[in-house]
C-alpha cells in the first residue's frame, strides 16, 4: 500500500464508511438501554470521554467508570 500511491486514499474511505454504522449503533443502544436520567447521563458522559480521550485505556476506563456510577447512583 505504501508503494501504490493510488491506494493512499482507501483508509480514509474505510474510516468514513465506518462512522455511519457506529453512530447508528450508538443511537440504537441509547433507545434500548437508557431508561432513566442517570443512565442517559452516563451514556452521554461515556460518549464524550471516548471521543475526547484518545488513549488505549479509554474503553476500559469508561466501563469501570460507568459501573461505579451505576453502583453509586442506584437507590
By C-alpha distance, which of 70, 6, 16 is closest to 41? 70
CA 33, distance to chain mean position in Å, is: 14
pLDDT in tens, 44-74: 888 899 999 988 899 999 999 999 988 887 7
Burial zone of 42 (CB within 10 Å; 0-12 exposed, 13-18 middle, 19+ buried): buried
Q: Is the pLDDT of residue 1 over 70?
A: no
**What average pLDDT does the structure give for the chain?**
85
Pairwise pLDDT comparison (32 vs 74), residue with the higher score: 32
Q: Is the pTM higher than 0.75?
A: no
Amino acid at each position: 500500500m505504501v508503494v501504490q500511491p493510488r491506494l493512499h486514499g482507501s483508509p480514509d474511505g474505510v474510516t468514513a464508511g465506518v462512522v455511519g454504522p457506529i453512530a447508528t449503533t450508538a443511537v440504537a443502544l441509547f433507545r434500548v438501554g437508557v431508561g432513566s436520567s442517570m443512565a442517559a447521563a452516563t451514556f452521554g458522559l461515556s460518549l464524550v470521554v471516548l471521543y475526547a480521550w484518545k488513549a488505549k485505556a479509554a474503553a476500559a476506563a469508561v466501563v469501570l467508570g460507568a459501573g461505579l456510577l451505576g453502583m453509586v447512583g442506584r437507590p
